Amino acid sequence: MPREYPSAPLIGVGAVIVEGGRVLLVRRAHPPLQGRWSIPGGVLELGETLHQAAVREAREETGLVIEPGELLGFYDRILRDSEGRVQYHYVLLDFLCRRLAGDLLASSDAAEVDWFLPADIASLNLTADTVEVVRNAFLRNRT
């Protein structure tokens, strides 16, 4: 199914990786949200569990091996074109994750990756749901 102008919503997973009081974000290389900072993640593939998708997407975009933990939240991302048609429609499930291994490297759909402190979040022009889930992750993180 195409991601742009889909015939049904797509399921997306996000890996909210918090370490040392910082969160890992990626700058999107492709639409939607091209050029904006976001949580590492992507679309669930057929036959894949939500946790498997989070692990795969985190590795593809950041080079890190992660372990997904608790579900932080679920969100609708519906973006319409100038005529009001649904151009993108995702149901997003974001998991609090911890790094197990790997070296940080932007790849796949990420133009850039970096760690951010809670104080940095307001200046990044994140979507409202991304701000919410990142703040939730900082509150729930135990490391």
What are the tens digits of pLDDT across the range 89-132? 999 999 999 999 999 998 878 889 999 999 999 899 899 999 99
The label of the residue with tokens 């091209």 reads 34
Task: Summarize pLDDT for 34-86 with one digit per residue, the tens.
Answer: 889 999 999 999 999 999 999 999 999 999 999 999 999 999 999 999 999 99
Cα–Cα distance, 2 to 8 (Å, whole number): 10
Indicate which residue of 45, 48, 112, 132 is catalytic.
112
Looking only at the bridges linking them, the beta strands covering 41-43 and 37-38 are unpaired
Task: Summarize pLDDT for 78-97 with one digit per residue, the tens.
Answer: 999 999 999 999 999 999 99
Active site residue 112: yes
Cβ–Cβ < 8 Å for 37, 25: yes
Cα–Cα distance, 56 to 87 (Å, whole number): 25
The label of the residue with tokens 């200046």 reads 123
Residue 19 DSSP one-character state: E
Of the options 3.40.390.30, 3.60.9.10, 3.30.530.20, 3.90.79.10, the CATH number for the domain spanning 10-140: 3.90.79.10
